[in-house]
Amino acid sequence: MNASPAELLPNHLGGQRHVGTGAGTTLFDPVLGDALVRVDATGLDLSGGFERVRTLGGSALRALSYRERAGLLKAVAQVLQARRDAYFALSTANSGTVKNDSAVDIDGAIYTIGVYAKLGEALGDARVLADGEFVALAKGGAFGSRHVQVPTRGLALCINAFNFPAWGLWEKAAPALLSGVPVVVKPATATAWLTQRMVQDVIDAGVLPAGALNVVCGSSAGLLDALQPFDGLSFTGSADTAALLRRHPAVAERSVRVNIEADSVNSALLMPGATPGSAAFDLLVKEVAREMTQKSGQKCTAIRRVLVPEALYGAAAEAIGARLARVTVGNPRNESVRMGALVSRAQFDAVQAGIAQLQRVAETLHDGRGAALVDADPAVAACVAPVLLGSRDPDAHALLHTTEVFGPVATLMPYRDLDHARALVARGEGSLACSLYGEDDDAAADALTATALDLAAVHGRVHVVTPAVAALHTGHGNVMPQSLHGGPGRAGGGEELGGLRALNFHHRRAAVQAAPTVLSRLTPPTPSAA
Ligand code: NAP
C-alpha cells in the first residue's frame, strides 16, 4: 500500500496539490487497530481553489460534447481498472471488508462509470440537451417556446458517507463530469484513503482536464462557505448533518442546489399466501440474511425491517437465524471469514448502542455476538456479528420504524393483512428501497403490482422478487446506475442515478422564446430517456 503511518495524504484542488499544515486526523485499520495515514486540509484556500475549479475545470469540460466527455469517463474507468488490486488492498486495510464486499464498492464504482460512458456516447456531439418540444405562443406557431438544459456554470461539491469510499465518489462524479461540471469530493474522514487514492491516480494519469476532479480530505469546515449560486451540493450521510446543511446560508440564501441522501429504515415484505419453505419465503430469507451481512450491514439501502404474515413469524425467525448462524465474522484477510468489520470503533459503539436501544422494545431472535471472532481481537476489532430482533406488536413502537442501526441488524415484524403491512412500511417515513417477495402466477403479479405502486409513493425504488427472477435479480440493496437512487421524507428527498435523469441535477433548464427558425437551431433531437 506504500504508505507509512506518518504519511499525510495531499488534497488536490483546482489543479494544485496541497498538503495540510495541521497535525491531521489519523485513519485506522478497523480490524487490527493500526494507524494507516493522516488527512488534513488546514491552510487550504477553499474559495480560491473552488474558483479555479469553476474556471479551469468547468470551462474545459463544457468545451467538450457529451460524447467527448463520455470518452473521458472511459479513460477514467481504465485507470481505475488497472489499479483495482491496490484498491482492494486499501479497502481491506481501511474499511475492514472481505473481498466480495470490497467488490461491491470498487467494481460497483467502475461499472457505474462505464454505464455513464455508454449513456454519454449515445448523446453524441451535442453540447446542450433538449427538454420537451416546441410549443406555439402565437397564432400559427410563428412564435413559440422551447426548453433547453445547459450545463451549470458552477461546480459539484460531493460530500460522502464512510461506507462507500469508491462507489460513493463515482456514482456522483460520473454524471457530473458527463454533464460538463467539475467535481470536488469531500470523503468521510474514517475511510477517506480509497477516495483520495482514486482521485490522485486519475489526476496523475492526466486523463481529465486540470481542475475537473478534486479532493479535499479532513475537516469539512469552510467547504459550504465557499459555494456560489450556480454550484451544486450533493450530500450522502446522516439526517442530522443533512439538516445542518439545509440551513447553511449557501443553501438558504444563495440557492445552491442541494441533493440529500440520508438514512433510511428500509423494508422487505413477504406477500400474503407464502408458506414456510415456499419459493417466495426462501427468497426472502436468503435476501434478508445477505442484506444484513453484506458490508456488515453498512449500506444505506440495507433491509432493516422484515415484514411477514403473522402465521410465519416463528418460521421466518428460525430460517433467517439459521442462515445468520453460518456467517463467520472477523479478520477479512482470513479466507474463512464471510463478514469483516464495521469501519471504526466509533461505529462499533454506535451499533452496540443501537441494538441495546431496539432491544428495549424488541425481543432478540438471533444474536451471533457470543461467538468468537476469527483472527481478530474483540478488544480491538470493530467486528459485530449479526443480530436479528423481532417484535410481535410492531404497531406499538415507533422506534422500530425510525431507528436505523447502521450495522448487521434487522427487526422481524408480523402483519395481519396487506393493508396493515403497507401501513407498517410507511411508518419508515420515506425510505430508499423496499423489496416484495411473491410468486409468479397472475394473481400474485396483480397483488405485487398494486403493492409496488402503493409503496412507490414512499420509496425511491421498489424491488420485486419472484421465483422467475431468483437467479437474475440485482439484489434489494444494490444500487444500479440505471435505476433511481434516493427516497422521500427521512431518506433525504434526493434523487441520484436513474440513467440520464442524474444529469438534470447538473444542468439548468431554461425556456427560450423565439421564432421557429431560431428555436429549430437550438438543440439536436431529444435523446431517448435511459
Ligand atoms: P455523517 O456523519 O452525516 O457524515 C457524512 C459526511 O458529511 C462526511 O463526509 C462528514 O465528514 C461530512 N460532514 C459532517 N459534518 C459536516 C458539516 N457540518 N458540514 C459538511 N459536511 C459534514 O454520516 P456518516 O455517519 O458518515 O454516514 C452514515 C450515514 O449515512 C448513515 O445514516 C447512512 O444511512 C447514511 N447513508 C446514506 C446513503 C444514501 O445514499 N442515502 C448512503 C450511505 C450512507 P467527516 O467524516 O469528516 O465528519
Read off the CATH number of the domain in which 132 is found: 3.40.605.10
The protein residue whose alpha carbon is closest to atom 14 in ligand 1 is: 241
- Report how far ligand 1's centroid is from the alpha carbon of 241 (Å): 7
Atom 15 of ligand 1, nearest CA residue: 241
- Both 36 and 175 in one domain: the answer is yes
User: Does 5 map to a domain?
Assistant: no
pLDDT at 436 over 80: yes
Report the separation in Å between the CA atom of 135 and the middle of ligand 1, taken as the mean of its atom positions. 43
> Are residues 310 and 431 located together in one domain of the fold?
yes
Tell me: do 232 and 276 sit in the same domain: no
* Cα separation, 68 vs 61, whole angstroms: 9
Residue 353 has pLDDT above 80, yes or no: yes
261 in contact with ligand 1, CB cutoff 6 A:
yes
CA of 111 to the centre of ligand 1 (A): 24
Distance (angstroms) between ligand 1 centre and the Cα of 447 equals 37
Ligand 1 nearest atom to the CA of residue 479, by list position: 40
Protein residue whose Cα sits closest to atom 30 of ligand 1: 237
- Residue owning grid cell 492526466: 206
List, for residues 425-434, the tens digit of each pLDDT value.
Answer: 999 999 999 9
Residue of 158, 171, 287, 300 with catalytic role: 300
Write down the H helix ranges in 360-486.
Answer: 399-402, 418-426, 442-456
**Are 425 and 259 spatial neighbours (Cβ–Cβ below 8 Å)?**
no
Say yes or no to pLDDT of 487 above 90.
yes
pLDDT of residue 524: 62
Residue-level pLDDT at 526? 47
Does residue 357 share a domain with residue 424? yes
Q: Is the pLDDT at 525 greater than 60, yes or no? A: no
Residues 384 and 360 in one domain: yes
The pLDDT of residue 296: 98
Please state, for a pLDDT cut of 70, what percent of the chain lies above it. Answer: 98
Counting the structural domains of the chain, the total is 2
**Mutation to probe ligand 1, out of 220, 303, 343 (largest number of atoms < 8 A from CB):** 220
Distance 388 CA to ligand 1 centre (A): 25
Query: Secondary structure of 227-243 in the HEC alphabet?
Result: CCCCCEEEEECCHHHHH
Q: Is 186 in the pocket of ligand 1 (CB under 6 A)?
A: yes
Judgement on whether residues 123 and 208 belong to the same structural domain of the protein: yes
Sign of the Cα pseudo-torsion (7, 8, 13, 16, in order): negative
Dist CA 416 CA 422 (whole Å):
11
pLDDT in tens, 229-275: 999 999 999 999 999 999 999 999 999 999 999 999 999 999 999 99
Q: How many CB atoms lie within 10 A of CB 438?
A: 26
Residue 121 is a catalytic residue = no
Instruction: Over range 157-184, report the average pLDDT.
Output: 98
Residue 422 has pLDDT above 70, yes or no: yes
Amino acid letter, 389 = L
Check whether 170 has a pLDDT greater than 50: yes
Asked if residue 137 and residue 113 are part of one domain, the reply reads yes
| Residues facing 388 on adjacent strands | 366, 410
Judge if the beta carbon of residue 220 lies within 6 A of ligand 1. Answer: yes
Residue 3 clears pLDDT 70, i.e. is over it: no
- Answer whether 152's CB lies under 8 Å from 126's CB: no
Find the domain containing 68 and state its range: 11-262+494-519
**CB contact at 8 A, 410 and 388:** yes
Counting from 1 in the atom list of ligand 1, the atom nearest the Cα of 244 is 18
- CB of 145 within 6 A of ligand 1: the answer is no
Active site residue 404: no
Give yes or no: residues 58 and 134 share one domain.
yes
Q: Which protein residue's CA is at the shortest distance from atom 26 of ligand 1?
A: 161
Give residue-wise pLDDT tens across range 367-400: 999 999 999 999 999 999 999 999 999 999 999 9
The Cα–Cα gap between 32 and 130 comes to 53
Note whether 136 and 250 are same-domain residues: yes
Task: Indicate whether residue 159 lines ligand 1 (CB < 6 A).
Answer: yes
| 4 falls within a domain | no
Same domain, 67 and 195: yes
Q: Is the same domain home to 65 and 140?
A: yes
- Evaluate whether residue 114 is within a structural domain: yes
Q: What is the CATH number of the domain that holds 451?
A: 3.40.309.10
Mean pLDDT of 511-518: 96
Q: What angle do CA 239, 241, 244 make, to 5 degrees?
A: 110
Residue with the smallest CA separation from ligand 1 atom 46 is 188
Question: Mean pLDDT, to the nearest integer, of 302-319?
Answer: 98
Mutation pick for ligand 1 pocket among 169, 238, 251, 303 (CB with most ligand atoms within 8 Å): 238
Residue-wise pLDDT for 277-301, tens only, equals: 999 999 999 999 999 999 999 999 9
**Mutate which of 159, 195, 480 for ligand 1 pocket (most atoms within 8 A of beta carbon):** 159
pLDDT tier, 527 (very low <50, low <70, confident <90, very high otherwise): very low
Distance 189 CA to ligand 1 centre (A): 10
Residues 276 and 425 placed together within one structural domain of the fold: yes
Assess if residue 486 is contained within a domain.
no
Query: pLDDT tens for residues 9-25?
Result: 999 999 999 999 999 99
Ligand 1 in reach of 300 Cβ (< 6 A): yes
Establish if 398 belongs to a structural domain: yes
Q: Which of 158, 171, 261, 439 is catalytic?
A: 261
Residue 326 belongs to some domain of the structure: yes
Confidence of residue 6 (pLDDT cuts 50, 70, 90): low
Please report the DSSP string for 315-365 in residue order: HHHHHHHHHHHT--BB-TTSTT-SB---S-HHHHHHHHHHHHHHHTTSEEE
- Give yes or no for a contact between 169 and 199, defined as CB atoms under 8 angstroms apart: yes
237 lines ligand 1 (CB under 6 A): yes
Does ligand 1 have an atom closer than 6 angstroms to the CB of 404?
A: yes
pLDDT value at 529 more than 50: no
Percent of the chain with pLDDT over 90: 96
C-alpha cell read off for 280: 417466495
